[in-house]
Structures are given as structure tokens and as C-alpha cells.
């Protein structure tokens, strides 16, 4: 990880006592939601700090104090170091998890540094380690426990775990998090996005206790060539070579043992003759128990299925499938802000099911783990994406490392989710040689991290005018690195009228499956008018009426995820009375109103008039 220059200078000026664990890195423990944990969700005291004043004390030249060593207790009288002017105990609170933008009106547009603090009681156990788990903090975060820095993390949508063992003690403890959502040109995503830059601790926080030798990573998946064979691995952190691990599936009366190698990893192989394969029609999950000789045991709910490409087909469990989908942002229905709760997830995926979907594109970043867990249970297939979005600094090696980190964290967290069939490495990136090299590296890394799934990206397309209409040409060189081609187009909104789709032909230069990853147009819910009047529900519905027949004429079309399920906030969308800081391309409004286009697409999905499994 790298500090921002201004924060780095301030942090280096602090005394060594502030950094008793100076080299601590974050890790990522898989299946964290299945471990016993002390939840730290709830009210956290906060200090808004646009000048990063909390990193030092202006009133003392030795810079001995900062908000990081400030427990939530009344300020003491002035001593040698001068008065304590700010203390968390007197500061307001924010809910965690949650974004700060929608919790306080004065923070709606805020981008910068904000400090979180809370006290908690803890009793350490002999022979254990304790990790602070963060589901996500946007964008850069620094974590202290009892005044000792335990970790830092960069990336706003992926989880991380901080080893807090050495910093904790019996009794009352306190944790301080400095969260900074400032955008920078060398971030992932970069300065420009078309969604709201929600800041803060946006997902769950907990304290998780594990044995000194613990299972930190595993994989168990169905072989593509033998649907009775389960294969994978288990890694046990801190365990010596020769230690034993056990994997069992009680429902199937299966059990196997394996031995850890010099890298504390054991290969796993299980034959399961009576396995029920996971699919949208039958989303069967099995409880799998992983046990290590050091005393750690971990249970997970896993579905087993295969996904692969054959020519221009996508095969699920060896059979062709058409992906009837929709794109989804992690925007909370009704209350708005970042989606953080099971209720948010149930509402969004419930709407997708109501639409007739068997597939969702989770754009444009990894969503909360509740989303993929729920998709597993409901039988909804998933496209999961990292925010390599628009014009990153594709010639900057440091930015590439950030993308690699986020891809690795996404894959590691969700490798156990049967619902995920596609890892996406980008959306709407410019066709340049540095971009193609960068994203080809990312696609290859995705396969290295997880060879069991397919790799995709949402590409821009070229348009050539013809005597009778236009040709859409898909020849982006990045397509050579992908298993499945995603394409975005907005006929009827950013170009032409809706009827322009009737005279548009598609020229796909790759013999690969195609997913139309975005199409659509804006409409404000409740605004009605003629079918040729922009911003009305009628106009949006007209776009869909012309799009669907056009898409049906693309021979290698194997799925679609129109943009987008629900209206979502975007600072780019400022038209008063219409957009009001919302992208209005949702089939449903942020308040749950179903627009006319919803029912056009629903009819097509439920009657089978668009796309076929063949």
C-alpha cells in the first residue's frame, strides 16, 4: 500500500509509539461470515477532518498526540502538553456500516478524511489471534487499536483483516479508523466515475478470534471433466508441513484427509457420485466442514457447478444457457446511500427475480458479501467486477498493482460462491495499447487466481454508417484476452432515436459468446408523455421495444444486462427536476416505483421472446 504524500509526511512526523506495529499488513480471511465474531457495528463517534489535523497536535512541537490515541473519555485538564481541544466523547456519531454522505446533510458532498472511534470490551484467550475485520472502507483507511497502528488498506469495495492481537488487552479497548475517500488520478477507480463516491466504513466491522494455526484460505469446486469429482485445496496459516486437514460433507457422508506441504497447503480430492449440481432451477448448497489439526474448524455453504465456453455458447453444467439479466449498483432502495443490509440485498435481488432474471451484473465494483451469498441461495448467476473503469493510468505500474490487489481480494473472498460465473476486469475503457496490455495482464491474472470461471469485460463498440442504417463493430483487441465479450451501447439515448435499433446490424469479430452488458435510457418515474418525448417512461419503454428485436438478431448473443435495475446517485447527473443527482436509467426508481420499461423487459424474459438456451 502507499500513503498519499500529505498523509505520509504527517504520519512520519509522529512518534514511534504511534506505530508500535509499524510493518503490519492486512490479510483476508475467507468465509469470515461463518466464524464467531464480536460485532463492532453500531454507533461510532466521528470527527470530520478535512485538513488531516488529527494526525498531529499543532500545540506541541514534538507532535505527540493525534486522534488515533484518543479513547472515548472526557478530556483531562491541561498538563505539560497543553489542552486537549477535541475528544471523541463529545463528538457526534454515525452508524457503521453506512456511508457518511446520507447520514448527515453537511457531509452529503464531503470528500476527505473522517475519523471513526468506538470503545469495546474484550478478554483475550491464550493460544488465539484476534483480527479486526472490515467489509469495506472507502477509499483509503488507517487503523489503530489502543493507540497502536495495526494496518492500512487501499481500495473502497473489498474486505480486509487487521491482526490486532498484540495491540489488545483485557478490559476496555478502543479502535480508531481514519477513512479518506478523496479521489486521485492514480486510484482504482480514478477521478471520474458515474456513481456516488460514498465515504466511510460502508460495510460490517467485527473482531474475529482464531487459533494460532487457522484456516485462512480454501477452494473446493467441481471438475469440468468429471461431475463426480470435487477438487481444491486448504491453506492453514502457521501450520507446519505434515499437519493433517480434514474436509467433510456430512449430507453426502463424504470425508477425506490430506497433508499440508511446505507451504502449509494441502490438495483436496473428493468423489461425490450422488451430487446435486447447483443451477438457477436448483440452487443446492452443501455444508462443507474444513478442520485443521491445530484445532481450527470452519463450515461453509457451497454449491457445485461448472461453467465454460464452447464456441459461442456459455455452458452451465455442460448445458447451454442464456443469461437473462440486469445490471445492479450497490445503491440502497428507498433510503438511498450505499447498500449495507440484508434488507437492501433482498429488495434488489427480489426485484431482479420479479423481472424474470437468472443473472445480474454487479457493477462496477465488488458488492457486499451478502449479495453473493443471497445470489447463491436464490439461484441467480453473477458477473462480478473490479473498478477498472474508464480512463485509468494504464501506463502506471503502481496503478496496475492496485488493480491486481483488488482483483485478488474479490476472487479470494468469493471463490466459494457458486453464483459467480464471470470475473470482469474492466468497463468502457479506451482502446489504446497501454490499456490493452494492462487489462490483458488482469485477465490472465484472473485465470491464474481462479481457472474455474470465465473472464469478461464491458467493451465499447465502433459504429459505421451504412446506406440503410448502421453497423456496430466489435473488434476491440482486448477481446482476444476474454472468454466472453461484453459490449455497451445506447442506441436511442446517446445516439439515434429508439427506432435506430431497427436498422442496426452487428459485426462481432470474435467467435466468442456475447453479453450485451449495457443498453437503455433515462426516465423519471411518474413523468409521462409521448413515446418520442425524452425523459418520460414512455420513451424509455420505446427504447426497450426496439432494442429487444435487434438483440435477438445477434447470433452469438448469450445474455444481456440492461442498464440498470434501479436509479442510483451520480454527481454527473445534475438536470434539475429530472435527474437531481441521479442516473435515471433504472427500470425502478430509487423509491421502488416500477417504470413502464420494467414490464416490457419482464414480458420478454418471462415469455422467452428474447434469448434461448440452445
Question: Are the C-beta atoms of residues 272 and 278 closer than 8 Å to each other?
Answer: no
**What pLDDT is recorded for position 59?**
42
Mind listing the pLDDT tens digit for each residue in 517-529? 999 999 999 999 9
Residue range 5-211, CATH number: 2.60.120.260
The radius of gyration computed from the CA coordinates of the chain, to the nearest angstrom, equals 25
**What pLDDT is recorded for position 425?**
98
Non-local (6+) Cβ contacts of 550 within 8 A are 491, 501, 502, 504
**Residues facing residue 37 across a β-bridge:** 208
**Candidates 3.20.20.70, 3.40.50.300, 3.20.20.80, 3.40.140.10; CATH matching 318-606:** 3.20.20.80
Kindly state the average pLDDT of the residues 34-50: 97
Alpha-carbon torsion (374, 380, 385, 391), positive or negative: negative
**What pLDDT is recorded for position 70?**
73
pLDDT higher than threshold 60 for residue 13 = no
Grid cell digits, residue 541: 419503454
- What span, in angstroms and rounded, lies between the C-alpha atoms of 10 and 68? 13
| pTM, two decimal places | 0.95
Q: Residue 140, SS3?
A: strand
Residue bearing the bigger pLDDT, 20 or 102: 102
CA distances from 273 to 268, 418, 544, 567 (A): 16, 19, 45, 46
pLDDT-based confidence at residue 68 (cuts at 50, 70, 90): confident
Mind listing the pLDDT tens digit for each residue in 197-256? 999 999 999 999 999 999 999 999 999 999 999 999 999 999 999 999 999 999 999 999
pLDDT higher than threshold 50 for residue 338 = yes
Q: Residue 266, SS3?
A: strand
Q: Between 369-378 and 342-355, two packed helices, what is the crossing angle to 10 degrees?
A: 40
Give domain limits for the chain.
Answer: 5-211, 225-305, 318-606
CA torsion 149-152-157-160 (nearest 10°) is -70
- What span, in angstroms and rounded, lies between the C-alpha atoms of 444 and 428? 19
Question: Are the C-beta atoms of residues 19 and 149 closer than 8 Å to each other?
Answer: yes
Listing DSSP states for 295-358 in one string gives S-EEEEEE----EEEETTEEEETTEE--EEEEEE-SB-TTT-SB--SHHHHHHHHHHHHHHT-S
Residue range 225-305, CATH number: 2.60.40.10
- What span, in angstroms and rounded, lies between the C-alpha atoms of 592 and 599? 14
Percent of the chain with pLDDT over 90: 88
pLDDT higher than threshold 90 for residue 115 = yes
pLDDT higher than threshold 90 for residue 269 = yes
Non-local (6+) Cβ contacts of 310 within 8 A are none
Mind listing the pLDDT tens digit for each residue in 339-389? 999 999 999 999 999 999 999 999 999 999 999 999 999 999 999 999 999
Percent of the chain with pLDDT over 70: 92
Mind listing the pLDDT tens digit for each residue in 277-294? 999 999 999 999 999 998
pLDDT higher than threshold 60 for residue 63 = no
Closest residue by Cα to residue 374 from 420, 407, 421, 307: 420
Q: Residue 106, SS3?
A: helix
Amino acid at each position: 500500500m502507499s500513503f498519499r504524500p500529505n498523509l505520509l509526511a504527517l504520519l512520519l512526523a509522529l512518534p514511534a509509539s504511534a506505530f508500535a506495529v509499524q510493518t503490519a499488513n492486512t490479510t483476508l480471511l475467507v468465509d469470515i461470515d461463518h466464524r464467531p465474531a464480536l460485532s463492532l457495528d453500531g454507533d461510532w463517534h466521528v470527527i470530520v477532518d478535512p485538513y488531516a489535523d488529527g494526525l498531529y497536535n499543532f500545540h506541541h512541537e514534538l507532535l505527540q498526540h493525534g486522534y488515533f490515541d484518543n479513547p472515548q473519555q472526557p478530556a483531562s485538564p491541561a498538563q505539560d502538553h497543553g489542552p486537549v481541544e477535541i475528544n471523541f466523547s463529545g463528538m457526534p456519531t454515525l452508524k457503521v456500516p453506512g456511508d457518511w454522505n446520507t447520514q448527515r446533510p453537511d457531509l452529503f458532498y464531503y470528500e476527505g478524511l473522517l475519523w471513526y472511534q468506538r470503545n469495546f470490551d474484550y478478554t483475550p484467550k491464550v493460544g488465539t489471534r484476534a483480527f479486526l475485520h472490515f467489509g469495506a472502507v472507502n477509499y483509503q483507511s488507517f487503523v489503530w487499536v489502543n493507540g497502536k497502528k495495526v494496518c492500512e488498506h487501499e481500495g473502497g469495495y473489498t474486505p480486509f483483516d487487521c491482526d490486532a492481537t498484540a495491540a489488545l488487552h483485557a478490559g476496555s479497548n478502543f479502535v480508531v479508523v481514519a477513512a479518506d475517500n478523496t479521489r486521485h488520478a492514480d486510484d482504482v477507480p480514478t477521478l471520474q466515475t458515474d456513481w456516488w463516491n460514498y465515504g466511510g466504513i460502508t460495510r460490517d466491522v467485527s473482531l474475529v478470534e482464531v487459533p494460532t494455526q487457522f484456516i485462512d484460505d480454501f477452494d473446493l469446486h467441481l471438475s469440468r471433466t468429471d461431475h463426480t469429482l470435487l477438487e481444491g485445496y486448504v491453506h492453514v496459516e502457521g501450520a507446519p508441513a505434515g499437519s493433517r486437514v480434514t474436509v467433510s460433507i456430512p449430507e453426502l457422508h463424504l470425508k477425506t484427509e490430506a497433508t499440508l506441504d511446505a507451504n502449509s497447503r494441502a490438495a483436496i480430492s473428493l468423489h461425490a457420485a450422488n451430487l446435486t449440481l447447483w443451477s438457477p432451477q436448483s440452487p443446492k448448497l452443501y455444508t462443507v466442514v474444513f478442520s485443521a489439526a491445530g484445532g481450527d474448524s470452519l463450515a461453509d455453504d457451497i454449491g457445485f457447478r461448472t461453467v465454460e465456453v464452447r464456441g459461442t455458447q456459455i455452458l452451465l453444467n455442460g448445458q447451454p444457457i442464456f443469461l437473462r439479466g440486469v445490471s445492479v449498483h450497490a445503491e440502497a432502495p428507498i433510503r438511498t446511500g450505499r447498500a449495507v443490509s440484508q434488507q437492501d440485498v433482498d429488495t434488489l435481488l427480489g426485484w431482479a427475480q420479479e423481472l424474470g432474471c437468472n443473472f445480474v451484473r454487479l457493477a462496477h465494483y465488488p458488492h457486499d458479501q451478502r449479495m453473493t451469498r443471497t445470489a447463491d441461495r436464490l439461484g441467480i448467476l453473477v458477473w462480478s467486477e473490479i473498478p477498472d473503469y474508464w480512463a485509468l493510468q494504464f501506463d502506471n505500474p503502481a496503478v496496475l498493482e492496485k488493480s491486481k490487489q483488488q482483483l485478488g481480494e474479490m476472487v479470494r473472498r468469493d471463490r466459494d460462491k457458486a453464483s459467480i460465473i464471470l470475473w470482469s476486469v474492466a468497463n468502457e475503457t479506451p482502446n489504446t495499447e497501454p490499456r490493452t496490455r494492462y487489462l490483458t495482464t488482469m485477465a490472465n491474472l484472473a485465470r491464474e487466481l481462479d481457472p474455474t470461471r470465465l473472464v469478461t469485460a464491458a467493451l465499447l463498440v465502433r459504429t459505421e454508417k451504412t446506406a440503410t442504417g448502421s453497423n456496430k463493430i466489435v473488434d476491440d483487441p482486448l477481446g482476444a484476452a476474454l472468454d466472453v465479450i461484453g459490449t455497451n451501447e445506447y442506441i436511442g439515448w446517446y445516439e439515434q432515436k429508439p427506432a435506430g435499433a431497427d436498422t442496426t446490424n452487428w459485426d462481432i469479430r470474435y467467435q466468442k459468446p456475447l453479453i450485451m452488458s449495457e443498453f437503455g435510457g433515462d426516465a423519471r418515474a411518474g413523468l409521462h408523455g409521448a413515446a418520442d418525448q425524452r425523459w418520460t417512461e414512455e420513451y424509455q419503454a420505446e427504447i426497450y421495444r426496439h432494442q429487444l428485436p435487434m438483440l435477438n438478431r445477434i447470433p452469438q448473443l448469450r445474455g444481456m444486462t440492461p442498464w440498470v435495475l434501479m436509479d442510483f446517485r451520480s454527481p454527473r447527473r445534475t438536470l434539475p427536476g429530472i435527474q437531481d443527482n441521479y442516473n435515471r436509467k433504472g427500470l425502478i426508481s430509487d423509491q421502488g416505483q416500477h417504470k413502464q420499461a420494467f414490464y416490457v423487459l419482464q414480458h420478454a424474459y418471462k415469455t422467452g421472446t428474447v434469448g434461448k438456451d440452445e
